[in-house]
Structure 1
Amino acid sequence: MSSSTNESLRTEPEPSRRLRRNSRSGSGYSVSEQHNTIIDLTAPSDSQTGRPARFFSLDSIQGAILPVTILLAWLLVDWSGSVPKTLLPSLFSVIEVFWRMLISGELLSHLGYSLERVAYGFLTGGLLGLGLGIIAGFIRKIDYLIDPSLQVLRLVPHLAIAPLITLWFGFGEASKIVIIAFGALFPLYINTYIGIRNVDNQLFEVADILQYNKWRRVTHLMLPSALPNIFMGLRTSIAVSWISLVVAEYVGAYNGVGFLINEAKQNLKPEVIFVGIIVFAIVGKVLDTFIKLLEQRLLNWRDSYQG
Structure 2
Amino acid sequence: MTAVSHTGPARRSSRAWAVAGVALLLLGWQLSAMVMGPLLMASPLETARAIPRLLASAHFWNDAGDSLLRIAIGVSGGCAIGFVLGVLAAHSPRLRGLLEPIRWLLMSIPPVVVVVLAMLWFGLGSAMVIFMTVVMMVPGMYVNTVKGMQQVDRELIEMTRVYRFGWWHRLRHLYLPAMTAPLTAALLIATCGGVRLVVMAEVLGAESGAGFALANARSTFDSAQLYAWIVLILLLVAALEFLLLQPLQRRLGQWREGSRA
TM-score range, shorter chain: 0.7 to 0.9
**Cα distance change of structure 1 residues 260 and 139 upon mapping to structure 2, 3 Å threshold:** same
Paired residues of 2:178 and 2:256 also in contact (CA < 8 A):
no
Q: Which residue of 2 aligns with 1:160?
A: 113
- Match of 1:180, SS state, is helix
Partner letter of residue 292 of structure 1?
A: Q
Q: Does 2:121 match 1:150?
A: no
Q: After the TM superposition, which of the residue ranges 66-75 and 185-194 deviates more from structure 2?
A: 66-75
Count of matched residue pairs: 247
Deviations 1:201-223 (A, max 9, x none): 23224435544344432222112
Q: Does 2:248 match 1:294?
A: yes
- Name the larger-Rg structure: 1
Listed as ranges, the matches of 1:157-236 within 5 Å are: 157-208=110-161, 210-236=163-189
Paired residues of 1:171 and 1:251 also in contact (CA < 8 A):
no
Greater helix content: 2
Q: Which residue of 2 aligns with 1:5?
A: none
Listed as ranges, the matches of 1:32-47 within 5 Å are: none
Q: Which residue of 2 aligns with 1:97?
A: 50
Q: Which residue of 1 aligns with 2:80?
A: 127
Q: Does 2:214 match 1:264?
A: no
- Match of 1:265, SS state, is helix
Q: 2:64 aligns with which of 102, 105, 111?
A: 111
Give the alignment's TM-score, normalised by structure 1. Answer: 0.74
Paired residues of 2:202 and 2:211 also in contact (CA < 8 A):
yes
Instruction: Give the Cα–Cα distance (whole angstroms) in 2 for the partners of residues 172 and 70 of structure 1.
Output: 34
Paired residues of 1:180 and 1:245 also in contact (CA < 8 A):
yes
| RMSD between superposed Cα atoms in Å | 2.2
Q: After the TM superposition, which of the residue ranges 269-278 and 102-111 deviates more from structure 2?
A: 102-111
Q: Which residue of 1 aligns with 2:20?
A: 65
Paired residues of 2:42 and 2:224 also in contact (CA < 8 A):
yes
Identical counterparts, % of pairs: 26
Instruction: Give the Cα–Cα distance (whole angstroms) in 2 for the partners of residues 182 and 64 of structure 1.
Output: 36
Partner letter of residue 269 of structure 1?
A: D
Instruction: Give the Cα–Cα distance (whole angstroms) in 2 for the partners of residues 165 and 77 of structure 1.
Output: 36
Paired residues of 2:106 and 2:135 also in contact (CA < 8 A):
no
Cα shift at 1:302: 6.9
Deviations 1:35-61 (A, max 9, x none): xxxxxxxxxxxx9xxxxxxxx844333
**Cα distance change of structure 1 residues 58 and 293 upon mapping to structure 2, 3 Å threshold:** farther
Instruction: Give the Cα–Cα distance (whole angstroms) in 1 for the partners of residues 162 and 116 of structure 2.
Output: 54
Paired residues of 1:130 and 1:192 also in contact (CA < 8 A):
yes
Q: Which residue of 2 aligns with 1:88?
A: 41
**5+ long unaligned stretches in structure 1:** 1-46, 48-55
Higher relative contact order (CA 8 A, sep 6+): 2
Deviations 1:120-175 (A, max 9, x none): 11122111111111111122221111123212222111101211111111223211
Partner letter of residue 71 of structure 2?
A: V
- Match of 1:199, SS state, is coil
- Match of 2:179, SS state, is helix
Q: Which residue of 2 aligns with 1:139?
A: 92
Paired residues of 1:184 and 1:237 also in contact (CA < 8 A):
yes
Cα shift at 1:111: 1.0
**Cα distance change of structure 1 residues 300 and 60 upon mapping to structure 2, 3 Å threshold:** farther
Instruction: Give the Cα–Cα distance (whole angstroms) in 2 for the partners of residues 140 and 223 of structure 1.
Output: 20
**5+ long unaligned stretches in structure 2:** 5-10
